[in-house]
Structures are given as structure tokens and as C-alpha cells.
Structure 1
Amino acid sequence: MDQTTSSMKHNGCEEGTEVFSHHGVVLKNANYHEDDTTCNGTLTVTQYTDGKRIQWKPIAVSEVSECPEQDEWAMVDTVNQRTRTVSGGGGDIRMHPVNVEMREVKSYIINKRKRELTLLLRDGSSHAFVFQYGSIQDFTYILRACLKTRRSKRRKNLYLVTGDRNESQPLTHSFAELNLFSDNSTDAVWRFVSNLKHRPYETTLQTFSKLTDTILYRTPEHRPPEEMAAELVNSLHELPEGDVEVEGYHVVEVPTNMPPRPVVTRSPPLSMEQWKEAMDDFGLISNPQRIKEIIFKGGICRPLRFIVWKFLLGYFPWNSTAKERQEIVKKKSDDYFRMKLQWRTMSESQEERFSDYRDKKSLIEKDVNRTDRTMDFFAGDNNPNLSLLNDILMTYVMYNFDLGYVQGMSDLLSPILILMSNEVDAFWCFVGFMDRVSSNFDVDQAGMKTQMSALFGLISAADQELATYLDRHESANMFFCFRWILVLFKREFNNDDIMTLWEVLWTDLPCRNFHLLICLAILDCEKNILIENNYGFTEILKHINDLSLKIDLNSTLCTAEAIYNQFSCMQDLPLSIKKLIGLAPESTSGDSQDGNSSTTSCEDNGYDHDNDENDISIIRDYTSEEEAFEKALCHNYI
């Protein structure tokens, strides 16, 4: 770490004065890995004529710039993080420098034993930095010297920016001019501060009734006005919590129906030994439910994934023998290549008269060329795996032409193809996956809107404070979660984590809509940041996008399961929520007569509205919100 006065370039040729510099700082973005050094660089604070700026520059970027046409301190695109520069051979990443105006910092978070710092900006975007060497204390000292901050009472590692240090401080200075107290009444002042904590409403009314008085008070030398004002401001932030009896008033904290959240832990993944023990001599899985429970709690070990995924995705029936599966592979292979031949043998003249097919083919070609190109499996030019990706998607068009291809499907196929490394196996597993999420790709987006409506219903039942906040900030439509639901968090986790998450979801435990509880778990973690920073829809949207590859999967899964357990223990849980998360049998909707209990999906009968007075409506009318939906769709995806 260095504090220097060297010159830096900004906005063309302007020279700035570098007041702080720290080397060995890693930009934690969508390409970050713990052992990766390609994101290493220098973090500086530089003074320009328009104010101080926080700047990060990768080591590879030259420090010499002769008035370039485009400022080398270009802001990182926090919404569309898929824009990358890929070399022909290995998919190298060109790291873009970061340039942030100091006054744009809304708050910051200190994580991981004070080695990681995340800057949250006023527009909802964020930048996370990992300090490989030394401490971040010097940098946070600079922040505190430039910005007025206070520690959040909701989240101890969150620090909120309350103003600029060089701004005037009218609040502090104004208390000496409010004329609230009698002359030489120091005791009355401090009695007011004390009373404010214990009798907030009465004290406030009594005090501000004196605003019309014209008597000035004087503070003794050992009690300067700034100290008294600071204490008073702090007291305003320390009002009593919970139910407090006061004279003539009753301060009530809104109660919650949610029981205490239990502690949930993860277990080891399904092992090869457990899998072999589950098979009889004919290769039949004796207890599929037990296998699913193990997968839900811990996932699947890597060598076993390519086998078990075929069962989870319906390629192989759970009640099939080894001999029957051999026959299935042969038949599925014949079916696949027959469908592939249909589009491979289509002539150009046929394509010219088949506009729908031609449009789908063009869209697939574009998406294939930008799907996971930074991964070794798809990196480089003329990669044969890209051809496999293209062929499988084109064959799916022939398999399901009503749906065809919609942007985003390539994201779902990519991890499957990487794992299977076989065209036929990958195709039929992809078919099974699409059978689960096909409603996500409806032309009218009805399936997506229904799920986002259900998500808000879950939030309303679990956390009324968050639900109220989102509703008041035009975010109850949950459109900022569009990308999460559309491709089941594919862009939020790295490839290993997304495989674990997907196989957990494919167990349908504890319910088919567990992905909505995953959303709720993430929002539960981010709640304080959204509320403390007073983010609106646009800022929430950008903040959620910036969480990509910054979410801890294990803690998220534990939280989601714990929330489900909380719901399970609630006595007055609305019927619609019970059906949504599989706590009520299908027969309660009137659609089933057999009385068997089963989990319910969003696309089935989980969203009916019975004439139950205790039920709540979780379907919202979005007919007047199409503009917001289009905005979210544009910012959230592609």
C-alpha cells in the first residue's frame, strides 16, 4: 500500500493527483476464481478537478496513455457482463479498468475476515475487490476521510454513506439554533436525550411544541454543541426495539408468524459406493426416494454425475433394469439421428419458404457463438464442441417445433453437454430438462410472470417488511429476478456450482418449486442492503445482476431449506402458499379425487384461489406493467 502524489490521466488528458494506491487488489467479477491472477491490479484514489475517484486498473493495462479517444478508465459494464474479448486459442479475458466517482458510493461491505470489500453504487451496481496483500483498513480509512459513514444496525459489515465530508453539516449546526431549551439548561438537554430513548413519542411532541420559542440555550464548555448534536442524532437511531410500554403510548413491533429459523447443514454428495448399494443384481434402483434425498442434501460426486443425471432427467426410468436401459439407449440413438437427418437434408429452397425455421436456425447460430466461450470446452475458433451444441439445438427444433428455440436454451444445454460429452445423451437429457422448464419460454411470458407472482407471495408470507419495501419501490412484480428463474441461476454460479444446484432441484425435494425458495434465500441475504440503500427498481435490478458469481451456494441452499422448514411449522400458513411448496395435497384444489398428496408446480394447480377466507391472493395483475417487464427483460438477460 502506498499513499503518493503521482499523476494520473482522466477524461482525456487531465492530470489527477494520486492520493492512495494499493497493489495486489483483485477485481472479483464474473470471471473471478480464488486461484486466478488475471484479475490482479492496483486500486487507487485519485483527486481530479471534479472530485475524487476510486480507480482499479489491471496489471496488464499500460499506465501510459497519450490522450486516447476512449478513456482507459472505462466503467465496467455491470449489466451485460457477457461482453468479453476471447483470444483465438484459449479464451483469454481482457479485464476492463474500473472508474467510480467517490460521490457515487452509496455504501460498502467488508467481508471474509476483512480481505474483501464491495462498493455499492447509487445506481445499484457494485464492484467487489479482494485485497491479496496487507489490510483493507488503509483504504477504508480513506473512504471515511472522504465520506461520512455510519455502520448499519441491520448488518454489521455494511457501512452506509450519509454524505460527503466536504459538505456543510446543517443538521449538526442547526440543533444549537432550534431554541428548544431554556437558558443554561444543560440538564434539560441531556434529559431530553435520555427521554427520547425511553419515551420517544411523548418526548418528541413535547420538544417540538417548543419550536416557536425564541429562547437560546448555551452549552457549557465541557459539552460543545457538536457533541450534544451528535448524541442527539445517535439517539434518533437507537429507539427501543420490540414492544415497549410508555406513558400513554404503546410502541408495537409488527409481529411475524414465522417460527425461529432452524440451523440446516449440508451433507456429503452421493458416492459411488452408495449408488452401487442401491442397485440389485439386475441394475434396478431399489429405493429411488432415498437416492434423491441424498442428492438433495449433498449433490452427486463428479464421477457419478453423468450416470445419475440420466435418471433425474427422465432419460432412464428409475424402475428400469440394466438390460432395459441398453435397449433405451439404442432406441433413443436411432430417434435422435432420424430427427437430425430431417434438418440436415433440408435444401436451401425449402429454407427460403420456411421463415420460422430459418429464423430459429439464425438465432441458434448467434447464441452458440457466444455461449460459455470462456470455458475450455467451448474456447477457441473452429471448436467441434460448438458444432455439437448447434446440432443438438437444431435437432430439438425438429423434436419440439411448437417451442423450437428461444434465447436462453443454449445456457441450459451447455453444462449438460460438458458433462455428457456425447451428442445423443446430451440431447435426451436436455429434452428432460426442457420438459421441466418449457413454460419459462412461453411467447407471452405467462409462465415467467406466474412464477414471479408466486415468488412475491412467498416473500409476503415470510418477510412482510421486505414485501412492503418492494411494493413501495415499484418492485413487487419481481421482474429483477427474471434471469434467475428463466435459466435457473445458470449465470449466477460457476459451472461446478450450477451442476450441484440443478441436480438438487431435479430431485423435486422438498417441493417442485424449491427454486423459488432459492430466490427467497438470496433476497433474504440481500434484504438489508436493498433497504438501507433505499434502492428503487432500477437500482435493485442492477444490484441483483451484480451478484453473478458472488453468491455462496451452500449457504443459499441451507437458508432455502431452513425457510421451507419454517413454513412447515407455521399453523396459519395460507392455503395458496401450502400448495405452492407442496405442503397441501392436490385434492385441496378440487382437481384431484384420489386424495394422494404430492408436490405442486407453478404450472399445475399451485396457484388456484379457493374460497378460503384465510387464503391470500398471490396473483397480481401485470397488464399495466408491460413496460417494466420489458425493461427487466432487457437488463436481465442477454
Structure 2
Amino acid sequence: MEYLTNGNPRQTAGEEDGSPSLQRRVAAVSSPALSAARLTLPGVMDAEGRVDESRLRMHIFKNGGVSPSERGLAWRFLFGMYPCSSTALERPLLQEQLAIRYQVMKRKWQQFLPSAVRMHLNGTDAELVAAVRYFDQRQAQVQQQAQDQSEVRDRLTFLELQAQILFERDTFDQEELREAIRIIDKDVPRTNRDLSYYQGEGSGNLLVLRDILITYAAFHPEVSYAQGMNDLCSRFLEVLDSEVDTFWSFSCYMEKFSKDFRADGLHRKIELEAALLKELDPQLHAHLVTDSMESFTFCHRWLLLGFQREFEHSDALRLFEILSCDHLELISQQVDRARYQERLARKYSSEDNSQSELQAINTDFTFELFICAAILLDNRESLMRCRDDVQLIHFTSSLQGTLDLNSTLKKAEHHFYNYCKRCAWDYMNGHCRAHKSKEEDFLYQLRSLFVLK
């Protein structure tokens, strides 16, 4: 596959330095990215603005991500904030409704815990102190803009009443919410502040991130907050540049992946990574599961945050898009179809049926696991020299920001392709020559899902 590089992950018109003015960011929060609703996605969107979801996912995968100008709109569809069936005329109204709902939700926890509305600072972090000042300026301008919208006030009042009824029965556990806020207040300042999005006046975005995370924790007590969510949510905030849209897109993403932030969910993912490496390289697997190693827990951050720190920042955003396409699920359908056809052929074959059964394909082996395996196999010699968990952690830390995304994707594709091929055809060793044309047809179908036309 020829993966394309799409450049700077975040620039909009008039923001050449990647650091928008305070006024522009205020507009993005108070009027939740209404401009995004008017953009188009050529090739995947019809004349009325409806999106072909399958085509969107294929577009992102085959092109190695989307361009910075498309990214904000594409993510709103990809992660479920916008229904793909919605039209361009419907989306501004949907955004209005989502904005009101978010504001009602945020106001409810703020009234429940008024002491938590402001982050408590010890005064030693000058940038964070400045962030509070910029945040307060923004909030004042947002309130002023809201007062100036008299022509839509009646409609907004009705939407607010609807939202209040919707969330009226939600209650909070004070102790649990306080604990979540305590951890959030520790994690938010640790968010990657080297990004231009959090520098200068942009430092106020740290407080926006805090509000989003607290609102999510308050209304999702079964998930609450876990360390690492700040980095994940930060990715959405940077790309969408809207407090409201970030909350809803992040919430949609967490509906599917919140289990990864629980101990059992992450343990399961690490087990799958170990099982996959055992399939691809039994010797390396055996080395890494010795008593002195941590048995793949060094992959924890890679899998939890989608390799956020292992690649250059713009590449990490592209990889997040590619992984979020769930393209392996599409591949699995192709593999299952080919395997079903082979079973039918064998059922009615007059040849000896004493051959071994087809090896089972583990559909839990998602593409991110192949990405992880590609990194491990590419650094096989270094890993084989590691003798304990300290050396493993040192090794993984040394990879931060050094990996080449295009090369890693190609290698992951190669490992995935070979895994599918082996599982589907190994049992035909010494027997497949008579079926060579059918085998080639299957492999062509599989390969065609990867190769750019």
C-alpha cells in the first residue's frame, strides 16, 4: 500500500501558525463548529450532504488518512457525532441541540459541586495560571455572545427545556465524582503542552479539556475517568476545535472503547497481542513471556492510546483515523466468504477427506494488534537482548517519536495478509496445485482491499 502523508494535522484558513486567536476559539465553542456542517467530503458525500459510511472508511484507509482540511468533518462522521444519513441542512440544527444538551449537562455538575468549577492551583505552574486567565476571558465572551443571540433565544429556550427534562433524573455520587475530578486535575496539566494548540492563549484549552472530561465522568459513572483519557480526548479537541463537538465525538468513541480503560479489558487486549505474536514469531514470544519479563504489559500505552507518542504527531493522528476505520472487520468478511466457499468445495469433493480442518481465524486480532506486532518484529534483535522488565521499558521509551508510520503500516499489512493467507490455505499443502486458480482469486480479493487503485 502506498500510504500518503497529509502534512500538518491542524491548520484552518487564516491559522498558518496553528495557534488561532482567542476570538476564533470562542466562536468555535459558543457556535459549535457550524462551519464544519457546510463543508463537503468529495467522493463520499452526495449532493444533499449524506455520507456513504463504507466509502468514507475505505477512503480513509486507502489514502492513509485524510487531509487536514477534511479531518474535522470526517471525524464527526467517523466517530458518530453526525449520523451519516444526515443532510447538510439538518446538521446545523443537530449541532444546536447537542450544544444545548452539553451546556445543561455541564451546568448540572457545576451546580452539584460548585467548589469544583475552578481548578485549584498551587501557583507554581505559570502556564496553567495563564490558562485560567485565558479561559475566564473566553467564558466572558461566550456569555456576551449568548446574550446577543436574541433572534434565536426562543428556540434555544425550548431546546434547553427539552435537555433539562432529558437529564432531570441523572444523579451523581458526590464521593465518586470528587475522586474523578481529583485525578482529572492531576492529568490535565500533564497533557502534551508542546502542541501549539496548548501554547500561548491556547493554554486556555487545557481548562476546556478539563470541563469535557468532568462532564463525561459525571454522566458516565459506569466508566467515570481513568488515566490516559486526557490524552485521548485531547486528540479530539485539537482536531475538532470545539468543546461541544469534542464531548459528543469522544463520548461516541468511548461507547465502543471504554472497556479498554478497565483492567480486564486491557488485560484481554494484551493477551491477544501475545497470542498474535506467538502465531507470527514463536521464538520472540517465548522470550518475552519468561519470568523476568512483564509479559507484554510494556505494550500497555501503545494499545490504550493508539500509539499516540510513538509516531510524529501528525502521523499519530493519521494512524488513529486508519485504526478507527475498523477495516479488519471488512477483511474478515472477505476471508469468511472464501473459507465458506472452500468448505463447500471440500464437502462435495471426491478426494480424500482425511486432511486437517481449516485453521481458525481469530477475528479478535484487530489491525492495531498487527501494528503492535510489526513494531515488535521490526525491533526483534533489540527485544531478544532484553533480560528483564526494566530493559523492556527502557526499550519502549526509546521508540517515542522515532517510528516511521508508512513503513510500519506496510509491515503490519504484510503480517496481516500472511496470517489470513496461512489460516485459510495451510491445510492445502501438497494439495492446492489443483485449485491454484481459485487460491489466486481468493488472494487477489484479499489483496485488493489493501492496494491503492
Q: Same fold (TM over 0.5)?
A: yes
Q: CA deviation at 1:457?
A: 0.8
Does the alignment pair 1:265 with 2:117?
no
Q: 1:386 to 1:519 in 2, by over 3 A?
A: same
Task: Specify whether residues 573 and 412 from structure 1 end up closer, same or farther in structure 2 by C-alpha distance, changes over 3 A only.
Answer: farther
Structure-2 change in CA distance of 1:401 and 1:530 (3 Å): same
Give the equivalent residue in structure 1 for 2:395.
543
When residues 441 and 278 of structure 1 are mapped into structure 2, their CA distance, relative to the original with a 3 A threshold, is closer
Q: Is the 8 A contact 2:302 2:308 kept in 1?
A: yes
Q: Residue 206 of structure 1 corresponds to which residue in structure 2?
A: none
Say if 1:345 and 1:470 are closer, same or farther in 2 by CA, change over 3 A.
same
CA displacement at 1:310 relative to structure 2: 0.5
Question: Could you tell me which residue of structure 2 aligns to residue 311 of structure 1?
Answer: 77
Shift of the 446–350 alpha-carbon distance from structure 1 to 2, 3 Å rule, reads: same
Of the three residues 387, 390, 393, the one matched with 2:207 is: 387
Task: Output the CA distance in 2 between the equivalents of 1:423 and 1:334.
Answer: 12
Give the residue type in structure 2 aligned to 1:552: D
- Structure 1: 5+ residue stretches without partners: 1-263, 575-638
Look up the equivalent residue of 2:111 and give its one-letter code: T
Matched residues in 2 for 1:472 and 1:386: separation? 42
Give the drift of 1:572: 5.9
Please list the CA deviations of residues 454-475 of structure 1 after superposition, one character each: whole Å capped at 9, or x if unmatched: 1111111111121122233644
Residue matched to 2:333: none
> Aligned residue for 1:276?
42
**1:411 and 2:231 correspond:** yes
Q: SS of the residue aligned with 1:279?
A: coil
- Describe the superposition over 1:579-634 as per-residue Cα deviations: whole angstroms up to 9, x where unpaired: xxxxxxxxxxxxxxxxxxxxxxxxxxxxxxxxxxxxxxxxxxxxxxxxxxxxxxxx
- Equivalent position to 1:516, from 356, 365, 369: 369
The C-alpha deviation readout for 1:469-497, integer Å capped at 9, x for no partner, is 22336447211111111222122223211
Residue 556 of structure 1 is matched in structure 2 by: 408
Q: Distance in 2 between matches of 1:416 and 1:353?
A: 27
Q: How far apart, in 2, do the equivalents of 1:405 and 1:573 lie?
A: 45
Gaps of 5+ in 2: 8-37, 118-171, 330-363, 427-453
Contact 2:216/2:224 (8 A) holds in 1: yes
Instruction: Report the secondary structure of 1:567's partner residue.
Output: helix
- Distance, in Å, in 2 between the alignment partners of 1:345 and 1:509 is 43
Deviations 1:255-313 (A, max 9, x none): xxxxxxxxx4325769x99932332221112x432221121122100000000001110
Distance 1:345 1:493, change over 3 A: same
1:291 pairs with 2:111: no
- Measured in 1, the distance between the counterparts of 2:273 and 2:180 equals 31
Q: Deviations over 1:116-152 (max 9, x none)?
A: xxxxxxxxxxxxxxxxxxxxxxxxxxxxxxxxxxxxx
Choose from 250, 268, 275 the match for 1:450. Answer: 268
Runs (4+) off by over 4 Å: 267-270, 347-353
1:201-216 aligned within 5 A: none
SS at 1:458 equivalent: helix
Q: In the aligned structure 1, how far is the partner of 2:40 from the partner of 2:206?
A: 35
Alignment partner of 1:434 is 2:199: no
2:93 is aligned, of 320, 327, 337, to 327
- Mapping for residues 188-199 of structure 1, pairs under 5 Å: none
1:319-398 alignment runs, 5 A limit: 319-347=85-113, 354-379=174-199, 383-398=203-218
- Matched residues, number: 307
8 A contact 1:567–1:573 mirrored in 2: no
- In 2, Cα distance between the equivalents of 1:308 and 1:382? 23
Pair 1:497-2:315 in alignment: yes
Per the normalisation by structure 1, the TM-score is 0.45
Question: In terms of Rg, which structure is larger?
Answer: 1
Q: Distance in 2 between matches of 1:509 and 1:492?
A: 22
d(CA) in 1 for partners of 2:45, 2:215? 33
Work out which structure has the larger RCO, using CA pairs closer than 8 Å and 6 or more positions apart in sequence.
2
Is 2:320 aligned against 1:506? no
Cα contact 1:415–1:495 (8 A) shared by 2: no
Letter paired with 2:101: D
Distance 1:269 1:278 in 2: 18
> CA RMSD of the aligned region, Å?
2.9
Shift of 1:382: 8.9
Q: CA deviation at 1:432?
A: 1.9
Task: Give the CA deviation at 1:326.
Answer: 2.7
